[in-house]
Amino acid sequence: MGKIRVLIADDHAFVREGTRRILEQEPDIEVVGEAGDGGEAARLACELKPDVAIVDIAMPGVDGIEATRRIKSLCPEVAVLVLTAYDDDQFVFSLLEAGAAGYLLKNVRGSEIVNAVRAVYSGDSVLHPAVTKKVLKRLVGVLGTRGKRKPVEPLTDREMEVLKLVAKGLSNKEIAEELCLSIRTVQGHLANIFNKLQVNTRTEAAVYALREGWVTLNDVS
């Protein structure tokens, strides 16, 4: 398989350089371009066709929110991973609505950025714990008044373990490592969970677990 092709968009050159150094230490990742503003990020995303675009919010001219909208509109196959210092609600929800697959804060470790790139490339969503809590709290508030649906059948102990880790924001790979399972096995458990809970996404499953009291917002850390 080829390398994961990454575009880095940040108006600070030292941030781009630092992120590039972290990523290029990995044998399966290649940085194919850098952008200093959102307009350039959108243009290079369509020109270079990276697998993942790492985008900051605060950039001159076109900001990260509009850059994400443009990238997902013009090049929907590019996964956008937000890497920023801001976790304000207005930014979080605007970027997720724009199509960002991941949202990390700049206080994460280099290894977390690497894992996030691999995760969004594989189709997972990745949220910083502080962001996960905001998203789930809002969704619980929105969906909490809806009638509860009973599971088609009870979850097994293993499925409950997987669901609780999903609610805590772990990726399939992290869940597999935590429970000493293969990623394929985790995917199978998730399919069963979705079917039993009558949901379609990891977020919906997490909201279900919160509403049922299987996890609390304090567990999402």
- pLDDT tens track of the chain, all 221 residues? 689 999 999 999 999 999 999 999 999 999 999 999 999 999 999 999 999 999 999 998 899 999 999 999 999 999 999 999 988 888 888 888 888 888 999 988 999 999 999 988 988 778 877 777 777 677 666 555 445 566 668 899 999 999 988 887 777 888 999 999 998 899 899 999 988 988 777 777 877 887 787 877 666 65
Do 72 and 163 lie in one domain? The reply is no
CA separation (Å) from 14 to 11, 19, 37, 93, 114? 9, 8, 14, 27, 18
Picking from 127, 150, 166, the residue at the C-terminal end of a domain is 127
Do 149 and 202 lie in one domain? The reply is yes
Domain span at residue 172 reads 137-219
pLDDT for position 20? 96
Burial class (CB in 10 A: 0-12, 13-18, 19+), 7: buried
What are the start-end ranges of the E strands in the chain? Answer: 4-9, 29-35, 52-55, 79-84, 102-105, 126-127
Which residues, 6 or more positions from 65, have their beta carbon under 8 angstroms from its beta carbon? Answer: 57, 91, 94, 95, 98
Do 198 and 169 lie in one domain? The reply is yes
pLDDT for position 41? 96
Whether 132 is in a domain gets the answer no
Q: What is the pTM of this model?
A: 0.71
Q: Say how many C-beta atoms besides its own lie within 10 A of residue 182's C-beta.
A: 11
Give every strand in the sheet of 79-84, ordered side by side: 29-35, 4-9, 52-55, 79-84, 102-105, 126-127
Whether 151 is in a domain gets the answer yes
Q: Say how many C-beta atoms besides its own lie within 10 A of residue 170's C-beta.
A: 22
Q: Which residue has the tokens 């977020």?
A: 203
Do 182 and 94 lie in one domain? The reply is no
Domain count, the chain: 2
Domain containing residue 83: CATH number: 3.40.50.2300
Do 14 and 120 lie in one domain? The reply is yes
Whether 83 is in a domain gets the answer yes
pLDDT for position 83? 94
Do 15 and 111 lie in one domain? The reply is yes
Do 13 and 50 lie in one domain? The reply is yes
Whether 90 is in a domain gets the answer yes
Which residues, 6 or more positions from 56, have their beta carbon under 8 angstroms from its beta carbon? Answer: 9, 10, 11, 12, 15, 64, 82, 83, 84
Do 9 and 117 lie in one domain? The reply is yes
Whether 79 is in a domain gets the answer yes
